[in-house]
Amino acid sequence: MKIVIIGSVAAGTSVAAKARRNDENAEITLYNADYDISYSICGIPYFLGGEVDELETLTPRSAEWFKKRYNVDILTRHEVTSIDVKQKKVSVKNLETNEMIEDSYDTLVFATGATAVTPDIDGTDLDHVFQVRTIQHTASIHSYMSKHNPKKVTIVGAGFIGLEMAEQLKHKGLDVTILQRSNQVMPHLDKDMAFRVEEHIVNNGVNLLLNEEVASISAQSVETKSAKRIDSDMVIIATGVKPNTKLAEEIGVQIGSTGAIQVNHKMQTNLPDVYAVGDVAESYSVITGEPIYRPLGSTANKMGRIAGDVITGGDLEHRGILGTGILRVFDLAVAHTGLSEKEARSKGFDIEVLHNIKPASADYLGGKPLVIKAIADRETGRILGAQAVGENGVDKRIDVLATAISFKAKAEDLFHLDLAYAPPFSTTKDPVMYTGMALDNALKQQNRLMTPEELTERIETGEKLQIIDTRAAKQYEASNVKNAVNIPLAKLRVEAKELDPDIPTVTYCNSGVTGNAAQNVLRNLGFKEVYNLSGGNKNYQSYTKQKDK
């Protein structure tokens, strides 16, 4: 068997490694137009910021290493220029010598990756304007910074790479501005969670400009379409990537609705003996079964292993993804998995939404607040998605939730998880368990929730509501929900006699626990419609700040 793989970063090399483990006799060749193989794109910002000392650390494996380890031939600076599907042949150009060679295959794999998107604006070709996608890009940025010592940088785009670059370059002492054309950072977060990240970025000295689009770039500045001029010694373009499908399209490979190559669960395309993996291929949602495109190194490695197994007679299948992602921005971790509230509503789900604000570990050991937003399907009780923001414990909570969602867990199942507990690491009711408890109660209509957005909408329509602040008077005076009256929990049983049990009532505290206790009191006293404000006053104040911007 002769396997030809086009591309040799994460996915392509994973195909080769798994195929070799399964079949010692297969002839495996990888062609790569770039200089480097199997490198860590995600590690690039940390080299530029100085957390990684040597660029070579991000390229731990060479073509020679693969030849010795796997008996695989990797030819860098070799570009596949055309493919004859009928004859099963590829034409390859040596980019160093311009020599053309021809090769044959039994199985062909597209691992051509993705290319950084370049906005169609004047100035992107200037010497101080860079993209962050390859090791060569990285070397160019590092060289420019060493020679010119830039003081002001503008980053175009507020996704993962844009925010990671902002953090790292700020740590290097640069004056950082981020331009984002939409109204929030991190498009896969809901706005109410993204706002927490935005506040944190601004509090760390970054100039964040939302709803701003670049009009042009000059040698000294960036001009926006709203006529803002931002002085810039260096510009980083981080506006996303697009899959490299051109070569595949030329031979009739089917492109999916996401713009990436359409594949089945075995990574096969519509053409016989032709596969696609990694950032050039689309995946599908574990929740909806619909195609999605989330180019990540972890997914690329998984796809590559599956294809390598299938090609050599194995039975692995791709089970889909949740689009799980995490990043660090300054001392804040931000993560998401599954569907956001916005996505779930757009897919037609009738959902329950919970904001859970709890310390990630015991208060008396300095546990820092952790905000979890979770979404569940009212019809089935199934968890559909979660987002988390906090300084500690975000990674393990989002991984637990991603695992639960992958195995179709319901909200009630989260409470029954036997999670590790000790005061330095968690609380007796872990935030994941509490998320499940509160969501399950809401789903069963025992303890209904109301988000700050819904409460605001109902207030603005003039609906008659009783809003009860259950905190101490000093806390109420410091900040409170519009139209709320202050009845501390200790006084509620007596003062409830002055309330109307037939009017919809909303209780709240700082983050939810005391509000929930007050909700139970009123329900047991015969109040017909009682809600606990999701995330309490903390979440409400965050929402109103976001709404007013």
CATH H-level superfamily of 129-239: FAD/NAD(P)-binding domain (3.50.50.60)
pLDDT tens digits for 403-418? 999 999 999 999 999 9
Q: Is it the case that residue 289 has pLDDT exceeding 90?
A: yes
Query: Residue 382's beta-bridge partner residues?
Result: 410
Residue in 1, 21, 35, 42 annotated catalytic: 42
CATH H-level superfamily of 331-443: FAD/NAD(P)-binding domain (3.50.50.60)
User: Given the structure tokens 């968890």, which residue do they identify?
Assistant: 383
Tell me the domain boundaries of the chain.
Answer: 2-113+242-311, 129-239, 331-443, 448-548
So what's the architecture of 448-548 in CATH? 3-Layer(aba) Sandwich (3.40)
Mean pLDDT over 59-85 rounds to 91
| Cα angle: 405, vertex 411, 412; to 5 degrees | 125
* Range name among 402-406, 476-480, 543-547 with the lowest pLDDT average: 543-547
Residue 347 CB burial class (10 angstroms; 0-12, 13-18, ≥19): middle
pLDDT classification of 63: cutoffs 50, 70, 90: confident
Fold of 2-113+242-311: FAD/NAD(P)-binding domain (3.50.50)
- Pairwise CA distance, residues 540 & 480, whole Å: 9
Q: Is it the case that residue 35 has pLDDT exceeding 90?
A: no
pLDDT tens digits for 488-517? 999 999 999 999 999 999 999 999 899 999
Which helix (DSSP H) or strand (DSSP E) does residue 263 occupy?
none
Annotation marks residue 509 as catalytic: no
Q: Is it the case that residue 549 has pLDDT exceeding 80?
A: no
Q: Do domains 331-443 and 448-548 have the same CATH topology?
A: no
pLDDT classification of 58: cutoffs 50, 70, 90: confident
Per-residue pLDDT at 178: 97
| Closest alpha carbon to 215 in 311, 119, 146, 101 | 119
Per-residue pLDDT at 76: 93
Structure token digits, residue 464: 């008659």
Which helix (DSSP H) or strand (DSSP E) does residue 511 occupy?
none
Helices of type H across 271-352 = 297-311, 341-346
pLDDT tens digits for 337-369? 999 999 999 999 999 999 999 999 999 999 999
Per-residue pLDDT at 510: 93
Q: Is it the case that residue 394 has pLDDT exceeding 90?
A: yes
- Pairwise CA distance, residues 277 & 310, whole Å: 12
Mean pLDDT over 189-203 rounds to 96
Per-residue pLDDT at 192: 94
Mean pLDDT over 456-460 rounds to 94
Per-residue pLDDT at 54: 85
| Closest alpha carbon to 334 in 181, 165, 186 | 186
Query: Residue 372's beta-bridge partner residues?
Result: 356, 388
* % of the chain surpassing 70 pLDDT: 100
Contact between residue 375 and residue 352 where contact means Cβ atoms under 8 Å apart: yes
Per-residue pLDDT at 40: 77
- Give the Å distances, CA to CA, from 186 to 163, 327, 413, 543: 9, 10, 29, 17
- Pairwise CA distance, residues 301 & 15, whole Å: 8
pLDDT tens digits for 408-444? 999 999 999 999 999 999 999 999 999 999 999 999 9
Per-residue pLDDT at 275: 98
Per-residue pLDDT at 332: 96
Q: Is it the case that residue 334 has pLDDT exceeding 90?
A: yes
Per-residue pLDDT at 547: 77
491-500, long-range: CB < 8 A, 24+ apart: 492/468, 492/518, 492/521, 492/522, 493/521, 493/525, 496/521, 496/522, 496/525, 496/527, 499/466, 499/468, 499/527, 500/466
Structure token digits, residue 109: 């794999």
Identity at 54, one-letter amino acid code: E
- Pairwise CA distance, residues 160 & 55, whole Å: 20
| Closest alpha carbon to 260 in 284, 239, 286, 285 | 284
* Mean predicted lDDT score pLDDT of the chain: 94
